[in-house]
Structure 1
Amino acid sequence: MLLNFSGLQKQVLVSLWLYIGQIAIGFYAAWTGTITPKLKDLEQSPLTYDLTETQLSLVATTAYLGALPGPYVTGWLSNTIGRKPCILGGAVLTVIGSCALSLATNLATIYCSRILLGFSGGILSVMTLVYIGEIASTNIRGILLIGIGICQTFGGILLFFVGPFLSYSGTTFVGFGLSVFFTIGAIFIPESPIFYLIKGNEKSLRDTLHDIGRSEDIDQLLSVKHEYTQTSSTKDWLQLFTIKSNRRAFLIAAVLNVLQNCSGAIVVMYFCASIFEMAGSSVDSNMSMIIIGCFQLVGSLSSSILVERVGRKIMLLISTLICSLSMFLLGVYFYVYSMDQSLLINFKWFSLVILIVYYIAFDFGFGVVPNVVVGEMFTPNVRSKGSTLTLTLSWFFGFFVSTGSGVLLETVDAYVTFWFFTCINASAFVFTIFFFIETKGKSLLEIQELLSK
C-alpha cells in the first residue's frame, strides 16, 4: 500500500505510477521509428548482415503477435489471484524483454524480444485500463483513463528525443530503465476493490474503498455483491454476449479499437523514416517525429482537459473527421508527387504539416477515447475478459494492416495506403454518430443501465 496518502490523492498517485509502464509501452511501440535506420546501417546495427524490407517490417509488427495471447492469460488470472499480481507479472516480463532486446546480436533474438515485449504490453494495456477504471471516482475516471494515452504518446516522444543520439543498445536500455522503475513501483499499489467484490471479501472491499476516498460507493457496490460473487470463468464469457449491456459495450469498444489500430497512426510511427524520405521532406525524419510528438502532447493534454467537460462523443467526432481529411490530403500530396515531383518543389514541408494536424486530432480523441470506453463500459465480472477480447481483436487487425502497409509503402504508390486510412477514419466518424453513447459524468452502474436500454 502507498502510505501517507489517501482519498483522491491515492487514486492519482497510483495512476501516475502505472503511467510509467505506459510510457515504456509507448517507447517500445515507437521503437522502430529510430531503430530501423540503425538496422539498415551495418556500422550501427547489432547485426552483421542487411535485412530485407519484409524482415524490417516484421521487426516492427511482431510485437502485435506477442500482444495477442497476453491478455487472455491475465483475463482468467485477474479474477483468480487479483489485478495487482497480473500488473506486477507484466512489469517483470517487460524488464526481461527489454533487457534481451538491448543485448540482442541476431535477428531471432530481436524477434523473440519484441514478441515478449508485446506479450507483456498486452497484459499491462488491459490490466491498467481495468484497474484504473475500477479504482477511479466518477468525476476523475475519464481524466485518469485519458492519461494512459497521453503517457504512451510521451513514450514515443522520449524515443525520438534520445534515439537519434544514442546507439542501438543505448536507446533500448532507456526503455529498460523505465521498465525497472515501473516494476519497483508496482509492488506498492493496492489491490482493486472490484477484485474483493468478486471474491466476496467485504472487509477488504470496505477498507480499500475508504482508503482511496470512495466510501460513498460502498453501499452501492455491496448491493450488487451477489451478482458478482456467483460467477465463474465460463459464466463470465457467456455473460459477455448474453447480457445486453455487455454486448453493446463490446460492439462499441471493439469497433472503435479495431478502427483506431488500423487508422494509420501506428503505421506512420513505425515507418516514419521511409515515409518522409518518399515525401521528399526538407526536414530530417527524426526531427519531424520530435515536432509531431510535441504536437501530439498538445492534443493529448487538450483531451484530458475536455473529456469531462465536452464529452467523449463530441471529441471522437471532431477527431475522426479531421483525421479523415488529413489522410485524404496526404494521399493527394503523394499522388501529385508520384505524377510530377516538380509541382511540389516548394511544398516539401506539406507532409510534415499535415501529419502534425493529423496527430493533434488523433490524440485529442481517436487515440485516447477508445481506451476510456474499454475501461468503463463492461460489468465488473466481465471487464477483464471484455477488455481482453476487444484489445486482442484490435491488435490482430492492427498487425496485418501495419505489416501490409509497410510492404505497400515500399512496393506501390503511397497514396493508395493513405486513402485506405482515409476510409478507416471516415468509418469511425460514421460509427460514432450512430452507435456511440455518451458516458460523461456517469458512474459505472449508471453506464450499465444506459447500455441495457
Structure 2
Amino acid sequence: MFDNLKEHLKIKWRQYLAASLASYGSLCTGMSMGWTSPVLPQLQRLESSPLPQVPTLQQESWVASLLVLGGLLGPLITVPLSRLVGRRWIIMGSNIPLLLGWLLAGVTTNLETLYVARVMWGCATGMMFATVPIYIGEIAEDKIRGALSAFFLLFINVGFLLAYAIGPFTSYWGLTATGGILSLLYVPCTWYIPETPFYLVYKGKMEEASATLQSLRGTSKEAVQAELEGLQTVVTREYKEPPKIKDLWATRGNVKALGICVFLAMLLQLSGIDVLLFYMEELLSKVGTNLSPSDGTIIMGVVQVVTSCITPLVVDRLGRKLLMWTTSLGLTIFLTLIGVYALMDSYYKYDVTHIAFLPLLCLIVYMILFTLGVGPVPWILVAEMFPVKTKCLAGGICSFMCWLAGFVWTRFFRDVAASYGIYTAFWILAVCCGIGFIFSATLLPETKGKTFDEIQEMLNNNNKTKEVKPVDV
C-alpha cells in the first residue's frame, strides 16, 4: 500500500504542489474569516480594542457580514478578466485586496476603516473562490481531480484553526499582524504556479502548453501529446465564437449544471457555516456548553483540519452524490438537536447540565460532515460540470450567489436569534439542510472519475445508453 502511495506521489507530486501553492491563499482568507470569532469579544473591551468605543450588536454584525458582501465583488472581477489574463494572474491579483485588508485592519482607529478592511478580505476571498477551483480542475488529471480540489477547503480550515488558536492568546494587533505576515507569503506562492495548459492552448501557446503538461504529469512530450490534442479539440469546438451569457442556457446540460451548482453553492452558505465560524465563541457560550468558548473554538478548528485531510482520500472513492446526500442529512439531524437543546435550556429553563456536552458534540459532528461533503463538493462540481467555454462565467455566478446567500444569513442571524430565540435560528438552518438532502438524493448526478465530455453527455442526455455527439454552442 505504502509502495503504491510512494509511486503515486513520485509521479503526481507536481500537480499536488501546484494545487497547494494556489490554495495557500485560502489559508489567508480562512484566517480573515475566522478572525471575527476571537476579535469580536476583544472589541467589547476598550483596553484591547483599536476602536474609541464599544461597537453595538448591529455594528458587530456588519463587521462580520461585510466580508461576505465583499465576496460578491470577486466574481465581478474574475469573470471579465478570466479570458484576457488567465487563471494565474487573477490568483496573483487576489493578493492586492488581501494585503490591503490586513494593512487597514492593522492601522484602523474607527469602524469605517474596519468595514473597508473586511470588504477587501471578502473581495480577495471571492476572487479565490471563483478562480482556484477552476485552476485546480484544469491542471489535474481526471483520476485525482476531486482530491486536489479538496485542497482548497483544507487550507481554508487551517486558516480558521490558526485564527482560533492564536486569537484568544494574543492581542487584536498580534492576530492581525500574524495574518498579514502569512498573507505576504502568498505572493511568492502565486508567482511559482504555472498557467493552466487549457488556457495556454486557448491562447495558441502550444509549446508552452506542452511544456507545462510535461512538467505537471512528470512525463515526456510524446506521452502528453494525446492530452494536448484533446485540449486543442475542445478549444476548437467550444470557442468558434466568444463566450456569451446566453451560452449558459444554450443546452439542457448547461441549464441543469447551472441549476445544480447554484443551488449547492447557496446551500453551502444556508447550512450556516459562516455563521458558526464567524460567531463560534459567542455561539458556544449561548448554547450553554460547559467548555470555555476559546477552548471550544480550538477543538472545532482541529476537527476541521483533520477532516479536511481525510476529504481528499474519500471524495474520489465515495463520489460526489453519496457525500452530498449523507452529509446534508447529517447536518439536518444535528442542527435540529442543537435547536432542541437551546430550546430546553434558554426557553423552558430545564436543567440540562447532565447533557451540557451535547452542543459541542453536535457542532463537532457538524464540522466533520460539512468538511466531508457540503463544503467541498459544490466547488468540485463547478470545476467538473460546465463546458470549458462557460466554466468561468458559471463559476462566477455560483460564487456570486454563494456570497449573496452568505451575506444575508450572517447579517441577520443575530437578529433572528435575538427576536425568536437561538433555537429558531438553528432550526432554519436545519430546514435548509433538509432541502439539500432531498435535492442531493434525487436530482444530483454522479461525476466521479468522468471526463468533461462524459459529464456533458450525461447532463445533456437522460437516456444513458444512447450515443450523443458533443453540442456546438
Instruction: Say yes or no: TM over 0.5.
Output: yes
Aligned-partner SS, 1:280 = coil
Amino acid in the other structure paired with 1:51: P
Q: Match for residue 221 of structure 1?
A: 231
Contact 1:67 1:119 (8 Å CA) reproduced: yes
Closer/same/farther in 2, CA of residues 370 and 297 from structure 1, 3 Å limit: same
Q: Which amino acid aligns with 2:131?
A: M
Paired residues of 1:30 and 1:270 also in contact (CA < 8 A)? yes
Give distance in 2, aligned partners of 1:248 and 1:7. 36
Q: After superposition, what is the alpha-carbon deviation per residue over 1:298-350, rounded to whole angstroms, capped at 9, x for unaligned? A: 33223221111111111112111111000000010011112333421322222
Structure 2, unmatched stretches of 5+, are 1-8, 218-222, 462-473
- TM-score, normalization by structure 2: 0.91
Secondary structure (helix, strand or coil) at the match of 1:437 reads coil
Match of 1:112 in 2: 116
Partner of 2:22: 18
Correspondent of 2:206 among 188, 197, 202 = 202
Answering whether residue 244 of structure 2 is matched by residue 240 of structure 1, we say no
Question: Is 157-166 or 201-210 further displaced after alignment?
Answer: 201-210
Name whichever of 275-284 and 294-303 sits farther off: 294-303
Q: What's the CA shift for 1:75?
A: 0.9
Q: How does 1:353-392 map to 2 (within 5 A)?
A: 353-392=361-400
Partner of 2:182: 178
Moved over 4 A (4+): none
**C-alpha distance in structure 2 between counterparts of 1:169 and 1:242, whole Å:** 51
Residue 6 of structure 1 deviates from its aligned partner by: 9.7
- 2:355 partner SS: coil
Q: Which amino acid aligns with 1:287?
A: D
Within 5 Å, which residues of 2 pair with 1:254-333? 254-333=262-341
* 1:376 CA displacement: 1.5
**1:40 corresponds to which of 44, 66, 72:** 44
Which amino acid letter does the alignment assign opposite residue 269 of structure 1? Answer: L
Query: Shift in Å at residue 115 of structure 1?
Result: 0.4
Instruction: Give the Cα separation in 2 of the matches to 1:22 and 1:13.
Output: 15
Of 240, 247, 267, which aligns to 1:230?
240
Deviates more, 1:433-442 or 1:235-244: 235-244
Cα deviation for residue 184 of structure 1 reads 1.5
Structure 2 residue aligned with 1:403 = 411
Quote the residue 2:3 is aligned against: none
Between the aligned partners of 2:333 and 2:235, the Cα distance in structure 1 is 48
> 2:37–2:282: 8 Å Cα contact kept in structure 1?
no
Count of aligned pairs between the two proteins: 447
Kindly provide the CA deviation profile for residues 77-97 of structure 1, in whole angstroms up to 9, marking residues without a partner as x: 111111111111112321121
Identity of aligned residues (%): 29
State the alpha-carbon separation in 1 of the partners of residues 356 and 391 from structure 2. Answer: 47
2:127 to 123, 127, 130: 123
CA contact (8 A) 1:97 1:117 kept: yes
Instruction: Measure how far apart 1:9 and its partner are.
Output: 2.2
Change (3 A) 1:410 1:381: same
Report the alpha carbon displacement of residue 173 of structure 1 after superposing the two structures with TM.
1.6
Contact 1:240/1:246, CA 8 A, preserved across alignment: yes
Alignment of 1:96-111 (within 5 A): 96-111=100-115
Aligned to 2:467: none
Cα deviations by residue, 1:79-131 (Å, 9 ceiling, x for unpaired):
11111111111123211211211221110010001101111111111110111
Instruction: Determine if the alignment matches structure 1 residue 135 to structure 2 residue 165.
Output: no
The answer to whether the 8 A contact 1:21-1:178 is kept is no
> Aligned partners of 1:355, 1:224: CA distance in 2, in Å?
44
Cα distance in 1 for partners of 2:25, 2:431 equals: 32
Note if contact 1:281-1:349 (Cα within 8 Å) is conserved in structure 2: yes
**Equivalent in the alignment of 1:447:** 455
Is the CA contact 2:281–2:296 (under 8 Å) kept in the aligned structure 1? no
Q: Given the alignment of the two structures, is residue 94 of structure 1 paired with residue 108 of structure 2, yes or no?
A: no
Q: Distance in 1 between matches of 2:105 and 2:390?
A: 34
Larger mean CA deviation between 339-348 and 441-450 belongs to 339-348
Equivalent residues of 1:20, 1:178 under 8 A apart: no
Amino acid at match of 1:101: A
Task: Name structure 1 gaps, 5 residues minimum.
Answer: none
Question: Whole-Å Cα distance in 1 between the matches of residues 251 and 10 of structure 2?
Answer: 36
In structure 1, the residue matched to 2:64 is: 60
Q: 2:79 and 2:397 mapped to 1: Cα distance? A: 9
| Match in the other structure for 1:436 | 444
Q: What is the rounded CA distance, in whole Å, between the counterparts of 1:351 and 1:8 in structure 2?
A: 41
TM-score, normalised via structure 1 length: 0.95
Alignment equivalent of 1:347, drawn from 339, 355, 360:
355
Between stretches 205-214 and 391-400, larger displacement belongs to 205-214
| Cα deviation code 1:142-179 (max 9, x no counterpart) | 00101111111111111111011111111012211121
Does structure 2 conserve the Cα–Cα contact (< 8 Å) formed by 1:72 and 1:385? no
Output the amino acid matched with 2:282.
S
Counterpart residue number, 2:5: none
Aligned-residue offset at 1:20: 1.4
SS of aligned partner of 2:113: helix
Deviation at 1:7, TM superposition (A): 6.0
Supply the distance in 2 between the matched residues of 1:120 and 1:355 (Cα, whole angstroms).
Answer: 28
Q: Secondary structure at the match of 2:48?
A: coil
The 10-residue stretch of structure 1 (106-115 or 264-273) with the greater mean CA deviation from structure 2: 264-273
Deviates more, 1:271-280 or 1:141-150: 271-280
Q: Does 1:155 align with 2:159?
A: yes
CA contact (8 A) 2:344 2:350 kept: no
**Conserved? CA contact 1:197–1:228, under 8 Å:** no
SS of corresponding position for 1:442: coil
Question: Which amino acid letter does the alignment assign opposite residue 83 of structure 2?
Answer: N
Which of 396, 407, 414 is the aligned partner of 2:422? 414
Q: Are 1:253 and 2:261 an aligned pair?
A: yes
How far apart, in 2, do the equivalents of 1:220 and 1:335 lie? 58
Instruction: Tell me if 1:190 matches 2:194.
Output: yes
Aligned AA (1:130): I
Please state whether the residue corresponding to 2:164 is helix, strand or coil: helix
8 Å contact kept, 1:6–1:211: no
Provide the rounded CA distance (Å) in 1 between the counterparts of 2:230 and 2:423. Answer: 53
Whether the 8 Å CA contact 2:137–2:383 is kept in 1: the answer is: yes
